Amino acid sequence: MPDRGIFRATTDQMFDFLEQIRAHEQAKRESPMGSPEFVQEARDVERLSRLVFRWAQLELQMAQEAEGRVARGESPADVRLTNVQPRPLDRILANWREAQLRLEIAMPGSEEAQTASEEIERLREEYQVAHEVVLTKESPAQA
């Protein structure tokens, strides 16, 4: 099961998606109906809504895993995500997962697929560097 920090980062990302949808919906309202801008905003909302759906499935799976851990006595029952702070690595992992989901739902060969693929690679490298920093801090200094 993901630790609490990863779960918190995942829920933070959901709020980001919902805010993006809200912003695109507002822009769509302000665009002339039938205009290219109006249609593009509708496309952006549709793409993000598919991502939100997949992300919600991921969160449900994580929640069910947490429920099982609490039932088995492996985790305390009184932890609230509002009291958990995501660590930088958790945030990188949440963004990485989000990029992987975007790649999954994008049309192969599309600009969206290419962008997601590039972001996955960037996040992989960012995670590796951040993880090495954490390991360096945790290991005793070499004399």
pTM above 0.75, yes or no: no
User: Are 12 and 92 a contacting pair, CB within 8 Å?
Assistant: no
Cα–Cα distance, 45 to 2 (Å, whole number):
29
Number of domains within the chain: 1
Query: What's the residue count for the chain?
Result: 143
List per-residue pLDDT tens for the chain, 143 residues long: 456 777 888 888 899 899 999 999 999 999 999 999 999 999 999 999 998 998 899 899 989 999 999 999 988 899 888 888 777 888 888 899 999 999 999 999 999 999 999 999 888 887 876 776 666 656 555 43
DSSP state of 116: H
Of 102, 127, 97, 98, the C-alpha closest to 114 is 102
pLDDT in the model for residue 107: 93
Does residue 99 fall inside a structural domain? yes
DSSP string over 49-103? HHHHHHHHHHHHHHHHHHHHHHHTTSS-S---GGG-PPPHHHHHHHHHHHHHHHH
> What is the SS3 assignment for 108?
coil
Residue range(s) defining the domain that contains residue 75: 4-138
Does residue 143 fall inside a structural domain? no
pLDDT in the model for residue 27: 98
CA distances from 27 to 17, 46, 113, 129 (A): 15, 14, 24, 37
pLDDT in the model for residue 1: 46
User: Are 137 and 92 a contacting pair, CB within 8 Å?
Assistant: no
pLDDT in the model for residue 12: 87
